[in-house]
């Protein structure tokens, strides 16, 4: 007879930890339950312990972890070492598989799992990675106690790996794949490859150079439509015609950090063992928005700060929410799962948010190779040797490891060698400078006390390139276009340049655009061209606008007063598209001959250009936009609107079926959350409003709105949930509310945390 199963919180149950129970009269022999034969039962066996007590080696004193009803852990420690050790432990509880795959991808160790198919990824990851120096210049850039914080955080990750291994609660993905997580070092969180790798700048240079070779600089520049506009000048004596596909391919080997290893037996034969493809919205419309509103424009008289930074929509989320509290350190918001601290949030004194600026942080150098020595390149009037390193890649299924020869010029990694034309292509990037780990400089912001201090600390914000905004308890607001920004004297960095010495970075810029308490009463950014009038040379070149999201944010913030948190909620979910409103004029003032077509023409003519998920008109317009090729009203004189509408309706019918009553925008514009390994763990899709060009663009999975009139009234949302562990109460629990434009309270005071407490975990010192 089996003893009854008592499920701990989250349904977690380590069935392998079977005991033999005795009673006064009867002795019951308890047998272990058989190995589960379905994925959900297996997942339930491997859930983390989030209620009760765990002994954690390395702690100096007890640490409280209170998870609220939405899965946000509030960590209370008596000192900084324990605080960050506990943060590493807790984030590993919820996201260890994600963290370990991020690490494998960043370190170039996918061939260990995938075999030779991943060699190109591993080669590129090892070539491009930051190689040190691992000195105080690196660690202290993030915070004066940077090394101490990173050591504590990594120790916490390792403590959880050890505990979970012994307790049999490693994430189920390790069981399914037969893999094991490796211990972390103090350097592990400092991988740049996913958070601060601006190779896109270099790829754009190569693409523009190839177009220059085809049509000349003037035409290539017209096609590029640079914002801000500058004439395009190609360096003298450079032959761009020799740049082929193979050159650009040298920068395209990175697969990303969502890794899908094969399942091991017997799990590869179970039902739902296949991987689902993400068939949701094909445009992810990355489009971050942030604003800080002065008390002069708010109903409360206190600052409101709002941010919805956009990245890919995925399962798990790329961000993780956490509240840290210890003497000398208090902050709440979101971070990257592999990083300590809070990257976006508030500390009770300041609140901050970010959107991508786009600062050009990389340049391609065309090195002239010595015809008598392929390992030397010209520098001025002399030949200079490559630095050559060798690395070893373990390859699954191979008899021998792969030995890499990696070459570096004085500019940086050599990503392609053209032996026929005696050229080598290298990349100089800010990611190879000390202190350039993405988001980690936010550690300094965690302890800043006002927006003036915030701006000072941004001197250490090197990556990613971000529009950093601030609001504080004293009523100040501020913005800066923050990034480690190369100083290029006499050139703009838009095209590859000779590596012989004429085009070098002279330093890094200290004239970054910023604002402090502007008279208009607000600061805001939306990935637009942020250059102030007369600012030169530019930090970057975007494609010319219109920058629709920033225009809409500006329109709203400039047209009102007495703003509330609800107003910021509404603006974050604003689904109006001005270009759609202009195009709709094409469908007014006439009548279609076909009565069925006329019905849909009227719907478009009456539509207000707001992309609501349950409406049919935006679903029609979504396909109509494809038919029209994105052209706006001024370029539609040659369009037959009746034919265009008929074509769009056929496309919509093919996509959503023959029942027009079921046509709606949300069926087109939905986010999906497939599990990376098995479809049994897929989460339901979420139909969305908004889309590309609207403030409510697709890519926001984390949002925050901070209210300095009542910090406990601040709100946030994250999707699909805090935990990546199937079966957890916090796996996918926030998807529906997120899709419904709902928020949860960002509990900050101890009183508010206690009110919303759901699970309590005590971490105590242990051996």
Residue 363 has pLDDT above 50, yes or no: yes
Q: What sign results for the dihedral spanned by CA atoms 176, 177, 179, 185? A: negative
- Residues in a beta bridge with 392: 403
Instruction: Check residue 301 and give its pLDDT.
Output: 98
Range of weakest confidence among 194-198, 219-223, 313-317: 194-198
Structure tokens at 435: 């202190």
Please check whether residue 530 is in contact with residue 228, taking contact to mean a CB–CB distance below 8 angstroms: no
At residue 28, the pLDDT reads 31
Tell me the torsion sign for CA atoms 351, 355, 357, 358: positive
- State how far the Cα of 605 lies from the Cα of 589, in Å rounded to an integer: 9
pLDDT at residue 1 tops 80: no
- Residue 12 pLDDT > 50, yes or no? no
Output the pTM of the full model.
Answer: 0.93
Q: Is it the case that residue 513 has pLDDT exceeding 60?
A: yes
The whole-angstrom separation of Cα 463 and Cα 331 is: 21
Residue 256 has pLDDT above 80, yes or no: no
Residue 4 in this model has a pLDDT that exceeds 70: no
Per-residue pLDDT at 285: 60
Q: Is the peptide bond before 133 cis (omega within 30 degrees of 0)?
A: yes
Q: Please give the pLDDT value at position 657.
A: 96
Which of 24-28, 289-293, 433-437, 625-629 is the least confident region? 24-28
Pairing outcome for strands 702-707 and 304-308 = antiparallel
Q: What is the pLDDT of residues 262-284, one digit of tens each?
A: 999 999 999 889 999 888 776 55
| Per-residue pLDDT tens digits for 435-485 | 999 999 999 999 999 999 999 999 999 999 999 999 999 999 999 999 999
pLDDT at 54 over 80: yes
Whether the predicted pLDDT of 633 surpasses 60: no
- Stretch 133-143: mean pLDDT, rounded? 96
* Mean pLDDT across the chain: 92
Beta pairing partners, 527: none
- How confident is the model over 291-350, as pLDDT tens digits? 999 999 999 999 999 999 988 889 999 999 999 999 999 999 999 999 999 999 999 999
**pLDDT score at 14:** 37
pLDDT of 546 reads 86
3-state SS, 369-438, equals EECCEEEEEEECCEEEECEEEEEEECCCCCCCCEEEEEEECCCCEEEEEECCCCEEEEEEEHHHCCCCCC
Alpha helices in 36-171 (DSSP H): 39-45, 80-107, 111-114, 119-128, 136-142, 146-167
pLDDT for 194: 62
* Mean pLDDT score, 633-655: 87
- pLDDT of residue 7 exceeding 60, the answer is no
Q: Strand pairing partners for 498?
A: 366
Name 470's bridge partners.
Answer: 352, 478
Q: Are strands 21-22 and 27-28 parallel, antiparallel or unpaired?
A: antiparallel
Query: b/e map of 578-607 (b: 16 or more CB within 10 Å)?
Result: bbbeebbebbeeeebeeeeeeebbeebeeb
Over 90: is that where the pLDDT of 421 sits? yes
Say whether pLDDT at 37 is over 90.
no
Residue 282's pLDDT is 61
Query: Any idea which of 20-34, 76-90, 651-665 has the lowest mean pLDDT?
Result: 20-34
In DSSP terms, 524 is beta-bridged to 291
Q: What is the band of 286 on the pLDDT scale with cuts at 50, 70, 90? A: low
Helix (H/G/I), strand (E/B), else coil: 599: helix
């Amino acid at each position: 007879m089996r003893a009854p199963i008592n499920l701990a919180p989250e349904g977690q149950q380590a069935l392998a930890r079977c005991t033999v129970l005795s009673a006064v009269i009867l002795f019951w022999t308890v047998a272990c339950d058989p190995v589960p034969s379905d994925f959900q039962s297996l997942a339930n066996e491997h859930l983390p312990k989030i209620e009760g007590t765990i002994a954690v080696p390395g702690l100096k004193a007890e640490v409280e972890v209170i998870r609220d009803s939405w899965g946000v852990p509030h960590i209370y420690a008596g000192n900084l070492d324990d605080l960050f050790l506990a943060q590493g432990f807790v984030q590993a509880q919820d996201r260890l598989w994600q963290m370990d795959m991020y690490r494998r991808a960043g370190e170039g160790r996918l061939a260990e799992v995938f075999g030779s198919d991943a060699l190109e990824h591993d080669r590129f990851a090892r070539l491009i990675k930051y190689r040190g120096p691992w000195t105080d210049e690196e660690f202290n850039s993030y915070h004066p106690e940077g090394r101490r914080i990173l050591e504590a955080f990594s120790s916490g990750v390792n403590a959880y790996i050890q505990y979970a291994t012994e307790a049999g609660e490693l994430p189920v993905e390790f069981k399914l794949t037969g893999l094991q997580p490796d211990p972390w070092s103090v350097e592990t969180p400092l991988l740049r490859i996913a958070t601060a790798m601006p190779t896109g700048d270099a790829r754009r240079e190569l693409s523009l150079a190839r177009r220059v070779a085809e049509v000349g600089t003037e035409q290539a520049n017209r096609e590029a439509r640079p914002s801000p506009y500058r004439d395009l000048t190609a360096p003298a004596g450079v032959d761009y015609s020799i740049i082929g596909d193979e050159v650009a391919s040298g920068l395209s080997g990175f697969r990303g950090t969502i890794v899908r290893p094969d399942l091991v037996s017997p799990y590869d034969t179970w039902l739902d063992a296949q991987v689902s493809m993400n068939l949701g919205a094909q445009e992810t419309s990355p489009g971050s928005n942030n604003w800080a509103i002065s008390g002069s424009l708010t109903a409360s008289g206190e600052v409101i700060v709002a941010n919805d930074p956009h990245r890919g929509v995925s399962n798990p989320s790329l961000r993780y929410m956490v509240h840290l509290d210890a003497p000398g350190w208090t902050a709440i918001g979101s971070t990257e799962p592999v990083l300590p601290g809070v990257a976006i949030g508030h500390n009770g004194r300041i609140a901050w948010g970010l959107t991508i600026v786009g600062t050009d942080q990389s340049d391609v150098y065309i090195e002239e190779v010595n015809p008598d020595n392929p390992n030397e390149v010209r520098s001025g009037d002399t030949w200079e040797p490559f630095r050559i390193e060798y690395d070893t890649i373990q390859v699954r299924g191979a008899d021998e490891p792969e030995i890499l020869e990696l070459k570096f010029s004085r500019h940086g990694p050599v990503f392609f060698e053209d032996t026929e034309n005696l050229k080598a292509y290298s990349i100089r990037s800010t990611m190879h400078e000390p202190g350039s780990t993405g988001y980690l400089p936010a550690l300094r912001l965690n302890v800043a006390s006002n927006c003036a201090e915030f701006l000072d600390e941004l001197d250490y914000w090197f990556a990613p390139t971000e529009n950093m905004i601030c609001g504080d308890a004293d009523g100040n607001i501020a913005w800066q276009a923050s990034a480690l920004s190369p100083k290029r004297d006499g050139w703009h960095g838009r095209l590859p340049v000779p590596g012989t010495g004429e085009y070098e970075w002279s330093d890094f810029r200290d004239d970054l655009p910023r604002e402090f308490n502007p008279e208009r009463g607000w600061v805001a950014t939306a990935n637009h061209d942020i250059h102030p009038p007369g600012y030169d040379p530019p930090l970057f070149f975007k494609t010319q606008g219109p920058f629709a999201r920033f225009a809409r944010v500006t329109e709203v913030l400039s047209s009102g007063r007495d703003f509330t948190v609800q107003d910021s909620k509404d603006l974050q979910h604003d689904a109006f598209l001005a270009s759609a409103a202009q195009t709709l004029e094409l469908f007014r003032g006439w009548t279609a001959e076909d009565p069925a077509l006329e019905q849909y023409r009227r719907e478009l003519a009456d539509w207000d250009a707001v992309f609501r998920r349950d409406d049919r008109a935006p679903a029609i317009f979504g396909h109509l936009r494809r038919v029209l090729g994105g052209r706006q009203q001024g370029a539609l004189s040659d369009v037959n609107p009746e034919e265009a509408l008929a074509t769009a309706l056929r496309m919509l019918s093919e996509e959503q079926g023959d029942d027009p009553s079921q046509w709606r925008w949300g069926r087109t514009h939905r986010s999906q959350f497939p599990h990376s390994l098995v479809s049994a763990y897929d989460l339901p899709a979420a139909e969305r409003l908004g889309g590309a060009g609207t403030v409510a663009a697709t890519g926001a999975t984390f949002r925050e709105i901070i209210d300095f009139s009542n910090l406990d009234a601040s709100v946030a949302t994250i999707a699909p949930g805090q935990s990546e562990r199937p079966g957890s109460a916090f796996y996918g629990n926030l998807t529906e509310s997120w899709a419904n434009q709902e928020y949860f309270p960002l509990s900050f005071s101890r009183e508010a945390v206690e009110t919303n407490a759901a699970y309590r975990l005590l971490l105590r010192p242990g051996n």
